[in-house]
Structure 1
Amino acid sequence: MEDGNRVQETTGSMSSEPNARRSTLYQIYSNSWFQILLISFICFCCPGMYNALSGLGGSGQVNQAVAANAQVALLSATAGTALFVVGPIFNRVGPRVCLLIGGWTYPLYSGSLLCFNSTNNGAFVIAAGAILGIGASFLWVAQGAIMTTYVPESQKGRAIAVFWIIFNLGGGVGSLASFGLNYNSTSGTVSNGTYIALLILMAIGWLLGVFVCPPAAVRVKQLEATPEEEKNWKQTLLVSVRAIADWRVLCMVPLFFSANVFYSYQQNVVNGMTFNIRSRSLNGALYWIAQMLGGLIIGLILDLPGFSRPTRARIAWVFLFVTGMATWGGGLAFQKWFDERTARGLKQDIDYTDGSNSVGPIFLYIFYGAYDAFWQSFCYWLMGARSNSPAVTAVLVGAYKTFQSAGGAMAWRINAMGKPAMTQFAMDWGLCMGSLVIAIPTVLAVTLTSESDDDINAHRMSSDDEKPQAQLKE
């Protein structure tokens, strides 16, 4: 008997060790900040590398019209699917499936550009852009829901900052790699090796989506996972309509629309038509590195200690307005200089070593990158301030990507049509500052907590339902 007991004790202790290890690993895996880091690295590999390509101007091609039309196809597809297609699907299948559905479209797009280098098959690039637009909807809706709900309310600004730093590190590293690969290039297009390297990294990012944790397993008190009985199309559609019809969200729509509207001008005019290929690669790296710094700055502002959340919202709005006026004001001086050079037939000729001509435009491009981080981080934070529910936030992010893509598609189409650069610049400046003004009511309405009246009523109803059951048990 004693020997038997000893065997049982030994067996029990041996079996408990793997369970303990498994429990520790699961706690790390389901930790909210581990998930934030994971989605950040996924976006480092997929949209981060895509940004490295698009930041080269014309995706590294001499024929910028093909890349611009691919952008229009991409953004149009995103605008058509992000809100009422991907948002409801996310509520049914969760973030992991959405990331696996969307991630493979990124290496496909890089492969189409590799093919274009050899065959000049522009139709394949445009078709791949449209497919990527649908895939990007799935990826970004899942990313936005994770980033804005997987951490406590007091840490949302930091979560956005961490994501923005890692994500844009992808664009920075990819652009630096392109700079090295094309340092001695005189062809005006990037090498096949650039597209192959980016394709491999994008494929790795897609596979990392397997490790994303579902909302129900994340250990955050304020996280409101959707009950299984509410995962039906009727309830999902009702949640979507209620979330979008809110006047505070409607005031944010112009902010969403303007979030990518300046990319076509900045990437194809400021960088693509001003600098040679190696300098465009270097500028792309600086642009995304500036995004990292910009994300850190705005994240610290949005989580400022000692200030209430409504006060932080107002401070961030003033910061965006002041830095926006300063940055676009500098852009006006550049645009006048650019028009003078264009009239003399000068384009794509400035190298980063041409100190007198390159310093000003390079720094302007850096400030444009930082301001993009300010803008998009503020949009995500406002969405996170509306709800702690991944289902609701997925709908808001879907709306964000829909209107953001619609604005971007419009701007890329205007660029592809060859409209004057000054016209594009004026449109971008006006839309940015105007949308900030329209968003003032939403900023002023930010509350101390993301818990809405509907959430509170739902909690009260659920607690009232539990009371009779408890009494019956007694």
Structure 2
Amino acid sequence: MQDKSVNVADDPVRPQESGGRPRSMLYQLYTHSWAQIVLISFICFCCPGMYNALTGMGGSGQVDSKVAANANVALLSATAATALFVVGPIFDRVGPRVCLLLGGWTYPLYSGSLLCFNATGNGAFVIAAGAILGIGASFLWVAQGAIMTTYVAEHQKGRAIAAFWIIFNLGGGVGSLASFGINYHSTSGTVSDGTYIALLIIMAFGWFLGLFICPPASVRLAQLQPTPESEKNWRHVLNVTVHTLMDWRIICMIPLFFTANVFYSYQQNIVNGMAFNIRTRSLNSALYWMAQMAGGLIMGLLLDMPKLSRPARAKVGWVFLVVTGMAIWGGGYAFQKWLDRRVADGHKQDIDYKESGLSVGPIFLYIFYGSFDAFWQSYCYWLMGARSNSPAVAAILVGAYKTFQAAGGAMAWRINALEKPWMTQFAMDWGLCMGALVIAIPSVLAVTTTSSTEGELNAQAAKEMVEEDKER
């Protein structure tokens, strides 16, 4: 595997320590781009990975899924309101480490609110913690996206996305397996206090790991272009943001972003939450996130195929999403008709994984839903990485991604909380996915062989706008 990183001693940004001594081998390893990719992956393993373990159980492990659904609406609304025009500019000024420390503590807070709900039934605290987590998640995901899409060379971006997706979703899988073991003999329909305590501790450890993230200027990658200190002003950042987002290729990608989490509410609260008992929901959640590991690997390898040009890989990825999407959602349609009939007969939250005659098909469908989520999000990140190698521009694109992703998710969770018909929610998700892929065709066809200078061109154009304003 080729690597375009350079030795710190030859790094034009920070070549040597004071006194002329070269950096130590440990420091060189620590600042290697892949070391930072792995580190941010483990941070997400601990924080959003454990959060996914909670939400994947349906209703965050509670019998009453309305509280969790409304908390998710608050969370995603806060993310949509802050990710682009609040967190993006802050990231450009303070860097990824500060953003991770600002956002990471909100994950254990949310787990603690669910622990409190088990004891007191205080739903308002859960919803408030969800809103705070939405702001914190904006900081974490903007930092994560900028690191993942710009810290490696162009020909390795698919592998970087795959590596992140595997480690990150291992968190959801491990957390769900732990819940499965803790709640194996439970008959209450609600996960135990021990589940929330264990996940809270892991989330807090992930927050601590944020201390070890490097600033972009320290990472040993020759193509990485940090934003000069002289350009770090709010007007410049706003101009770069507007200039980046007004690109028609980005506009055509917005429906992809909007749909990226829109199916979570249906899959987690209806497919998993209404069909299975608590221990099988925990098992399904583990399988869902493990399937995402496989899905991220498949899509990452597909998007890094060395024998194909980057424009060809963009087209192959799009066709792969259309084919797998139609097949998986088609199976989901058959399942939803079966579930509607079953619930009408009085069966609800009662399928156990040991009942192979009932559980095998629905469990495999849930696994494929997890794979498709990884296919979709990996492709979105790859398209964003194909637009620019600049961390500042990448932060804007990821901020836009999280903003529209959260807006779509909030809409879907609100529809779920309003208890709209299950088939209506299913049809909405399937239709939005296929429609978004059609609208994205111009962006897919516009992918170029390289994007090594596009980010710098965006920044230069915005700089010229600022200079023109000063002259006036």
Give TM class, smaller chain: over 0.9
Match in the other structure for 1:176: 177
* Contact kept? 1:386, 1:452, Cα under 8 Å: no
Per the alignment, residue 294 of structure 1 pairs with 295
How big is the shift at 1:452? 4.3
Q: Percent identity?
A: 77
Q: What CA deviation, in whole Å up to 9, does each residue of 1:260-296 have, x standing for no partner?
A: 0000000000000000000000000000000000000
How large is the RMSD of aligned CA atoms in angstroms? 1.7
Hey, what does 2:386 align to over in structure 1?
Answer: 385
Who is 2:31 aligned against?
30
The TM-score with structure 2 as length reference comes to 0.92
Q: Measure the CA separation in 2 of the matches of 1:248 and 1:383.
A: 10
**8 Å Cα contact 2:252-2:443 kept in structure 1:** yes
1:22 deviates by 5.6
1:64 counterpart = 2:69: no
Cα displacement (A) at 1:353: 0.6
Q: Secondary structure at the match of 2:387?
A: coil
Segments ≥4 residues shifted beyond 4 Å:
19-22, 456-460
Q: Which residue of 2 aligns with 1:117?
A: 118
Contact kept in structure 2, 1:78 and 1:401, CA below 8 Å: yes
Partner residue in 1 for 2:256: 255
Counterparts of 1:16-415 in structure 2 under 5 Å? Answer: 23-415=24-416
Is the partner of 1:39 in helix, strand or coil?
helix
Q: Is the 8 A contact 2:318 2:444 kept in 1?
A: yes
Per-residue deviation, residues 67-88 of structure 1 (Å, max 9, x unmatched): 0000000000000000100000
Q: Is the 8 A contact 2:240 2:458 kept in 1?
A: no
**Structure 2 unpaired stretches of 5+:** 1-16, 464-472
* Structure 1 portions without partners, runs of 5+: 1-15, 463-474
String of CA shifts for 1:139-173, please: whole Å, max 9, x gaps.
00000000000000010000000000000000000
Asked if structure 1 preserves the Cα contact closer than 8 Å seen for 2:388 and 2:455, the reply is no
Residues matched between the structures, number: 445
Cα distance in structure 1, aligned partners of 2:196 and 2:458: 53
Query: How far is 1:453 from its partner?
Result: 5.1
Q: 1:438 aligns to what?
A: 439
Distance 1:20 1:165, change over 3 A: farther
Residue 451 (structure 1) shift: 2.9
SS of alignment partner, residue 62 of structure 1: coil
Quote the Cα distance in structure 1 between the aligned partners of 2:223 and 2:330.
42
1:324-381 Cα shifts (integer Å, max 9, x gaps): 0000000000000011011112110000011111000000000000000000000000
| d(CA) in 2 for partners of 1:458, 1:240 | 9
Give the corresponding residue for 2:3. Answer: none
- Are 1:32 and 1:151, in contact at CA under 8 Å, matched by a contact in 2? yes
Post-superposition offset of 1:305: 1.0
Q: Secondary structure at the residue paired with 1:94? A: helix
What letter is aligned with 1:37?
A: V
SS in structure 2 at match of 1:353? coil
Structure 1 or 2, whichever has the larger Rg, is 1
With structure 1 as the length reference, what TM-score do the two structures score?
0.92
8 Å Cα contact 1:44-1:167 kept in structure 2: yes
Tell me the alpha carbon deviations over residues 68-112 of structure 1, each in whole angstroms, 9 at most, x when there is no partner: 000000000000000100000000000000000000000000000
Q: Is the 8 A contact 2:303 2:313 kept in 1?
A: yes
Matched AA of 1:98 = C
Q: 1:413-448 deviations in whole A, cap 9, x for unaligned?
A: 000000000000000000000000000000000001
Q: What code does the residue aligned with 1:219 have?
A: R
1:424 aligns with 425
